[in-house]
């Protein structure tokens, strides 16, 4: 305001000084005064924008990702912004928790879960749009057009087997092989609380339905259930069962297979299914009416940044959704994987019904194994 008043006094003084004289057009006061007024307005607008995006003093995340991954990302975010992060791992309960708290959200961020789940929750008004700096670098297949959710990692779901229990020739080469008689009682999988398992089931149902019929799709699910020895609510227990030879065949996200093969020295071999891996896109979104919206937007911007994506790739085997980052990621991520063709819009429209049918009609509760 002081700068504005000074400018006005200057204009008045120059006008009085010019009385009775012929002034050259280029020396008129208004032309000299305008930049000062515009500069002041720009400065005030910049200050207002900074105040509007000031980060809150905390951030709460609901996630399905492993604790070590979320902790590493959260620590880096806190170091850069000063905002402390609290995160809660909800596994298969994530979507239900976000939905139940829609009118009174306790979390700012939903981090993890597949595209279909985010499509459903978006249609229910659970998210608020954000505009991260990297949004234009991500393919349209991995983001919502108006910014309500974004993909973060591409996760191929593949088959694997115990190489001490069977040879490569004896191992399944595609999803449909899992229903063959020779694999009866030799297959273990995760239970219905696993987001990756849920994505795999609905993807296979949609794919078989599209290429054959819905009847054929459910015949496959029924036969797979009969061949399955156990369903585990713990990924580590499932891998131990295969690693110890209690079962021979399973399915999991590629980074978990590599981790247990290399770091945990299990006798595992990976199989990319002939019809394509189920490529799950793990997503992220800010909740509608989040308690800390500015911090939420800043966190999403950080998660998709090159720094964070490359760190997650090299330290946690998470494949970025941004192709331009892959050259700095592990070699296997630079290999082009074929993806099982699926229609995620159809999956999102039918996911609840298909999962309920799977759990009610085809999951045998007696085969469930829970961690202690």
> What are the residues facing 155 on neighbouring strands?
280
pLDDT value, residue 258: 87
Average pLDDT over residues 48-67: 80
Percent of the chain with pLDDT over 90: 75
Walk me through the domains of the chain, giving residue ranges and CATH numbers: 59-154+281-334 (3.40.190.10), 156-279+339-369 (3.40.190.10)
pLDDT value, residue 53: 66
How confident is residue 332, by pLDDT bands cut at 50, 70 and 90? confident
Mean of the per-residue pLDDT values for the chain? Answer: 87
Rounded CA-CA distance 61/84 in Å is 11
Q: Alpha-carbon torsion 298, 300, 301, 306, what sign?
A: positive
Q: Is 137 in contact with 305 (CB distance < 8 Å)?
A: no
Q: Return the closest-CA partner of residue 108 out of 99, 117, 98, 120.
A: 98
CA torsion 15→21→24→29, rounded to 10°? 0
DSSP string covering 1-37: -HHHHHHHHHHHHHHHHTTTS---GGG-HHHHHHHHH
Q: Measured in Å, how far apart are the chain's first and last C-alpha atoms?
A: 68
pLDDT value, residue 39: 46
* Of residues 76 and 47, more confidently modeled: 76
> What are the residues facing 277 on neighbouring strands?
339
Token pair 């799709």 is found at: 217
Hey, how many other C-beta atoms are within 10 angstroms of the C-beta on 180? 11
How confident is residue 255, by pLDDT bands cut at 50, 70 and 90? confident
Average pLDDT over residues 172-199: 95
Average pLDDT over residues 72-88: 97
Average pLDDT over residues 330-339: 83
Rounded CA-CA distance 248/253 in Å is 17
pLDDT value, residue 5: 34
pLDDT value, residue 28: 41
Average pLDDT over residues 303-330: 95
pLDDT value, residue 49: 41
pLDDT value, residue 335: 75
Rounded CA-CA distance 330/218 in Å is 37
Q: Write the pLDDT tens digit of every residue in 11-57.
A: 333 333 343 343 344 444 444 444 444 444 444 444 334 444 699 99
Angstrom distances, CA of residue 219 to CA of 176, 185, 222, 277: 11, 18, 5, 20
How confident is residue 336, by pLDDT bands cut at 50, 70 and 90? confident
Rounded CA-CA distance 348/177 in Å is 26
154 class by beta-carbon count within 10 Å (0-12 exposed, 13-18 middle, 19+ buried): buried
Q: Alpha-carbon torsion 301, 307, 308, 313, what sign?
A: positive
Token pair 């469930």 is found at: 368
Rounded CA-CA distance 55/295 in Å is 5
Average pLDDT over residues 58-87: 96
Q: Say which residues have a Cβ less than 8 Å from residue 309's Cβ, sequence separation at least 6.
A: 152, 303, 318, 320, 322, 325
Q: Is 119 in contact with 351 (CB distance < 8 Å)?
A: no
Angstrom distances, CA of residue 256 to CA of 67, 226, 235, 339: 14, 25, 9, 18
Give this prediction's pTM: 0.72
- Which segment of 30-39, 100-109, 269-278 scores lowest on mean pLDDT? 30-39
- Which segment of 28-42, 226-240, 299-313 scores lowest on mean pLDDT? 28-42
Average pLDDT over residues 123-144: 95
pLDDT value, residue 372: 61
């Amino acid at each position: 305001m002081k700068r504005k008043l000074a400018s006005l006094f200057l204009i008045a003084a120059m006008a009085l000084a010019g009385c009775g004289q012929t002034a050259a057009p280029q020396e008129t006061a208004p032309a000299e005064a305008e930049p000062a007024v515009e500069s002041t307005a720009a400065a005030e607008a910049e200050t207002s924008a900074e105040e509007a995006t000031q980060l809150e003093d905390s951030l709460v995340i609901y996630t399905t990702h492993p604790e070590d991954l979320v902790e590493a990302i959260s620590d880096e975010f806190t170091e850069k912004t000063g905002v402390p992060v609290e995160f809660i791992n909800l596994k298969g309960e994530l979507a239900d928790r976000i939905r139940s708290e829609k009118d009174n959200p306790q979390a700012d961020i939903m981090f993890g879960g597949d595209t279909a789940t985010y499509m459903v929750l978006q249609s229910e008004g659970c998210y608020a749009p954000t505009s991260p700096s990297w949004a234009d670098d991500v393919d349209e297949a991995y983001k919502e057009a108006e910014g309500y959710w974004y993909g973060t990692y591409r996760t191929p779901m593949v088959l694997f087997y115990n190489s001490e229990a069977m040879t490569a020739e004896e191992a399944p080469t595609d999803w449909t092989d899992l229903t063959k008689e020779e694999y009866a009682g030799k297959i273990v999988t995760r239970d219905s609380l696993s987001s990756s398992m849920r994505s795999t089931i609905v993807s296979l149902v949609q794919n078989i339905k599209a290429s054959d019929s819905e009847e054929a799709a459910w015949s496959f699910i029924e036969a797979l259930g009969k061949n399955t020895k156990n369903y585990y609510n713990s990924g580590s227990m499932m891998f131990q069962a295969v690693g110890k030879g209690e079962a021979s065949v399973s399915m999991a996200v590629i980074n978990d297979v590599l981790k247990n093969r290399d770091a945990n020295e299990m006798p595992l071999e990976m199989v990319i299914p002939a019809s394509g891996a189920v490529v799950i896109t793990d997503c992220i979104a800010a909740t509608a009416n989040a308690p800390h919206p500015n911090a939420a937007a800043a966190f999403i911007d950080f998660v998709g940044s090159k720094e964070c994506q490359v760190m997650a790739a090299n330290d946690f085997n998470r494949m970025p959704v941004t192709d331009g980052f892959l050259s700095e990621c592990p070699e296997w991520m630079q290999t082009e994987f074929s993806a099982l063709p699926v229609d995620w819009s159809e999956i999102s429209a039918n996911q609840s019904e298909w999962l309920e049918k799977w759990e009610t009609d085809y999951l045998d509760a007696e085969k469930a194994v829970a961690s202690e």
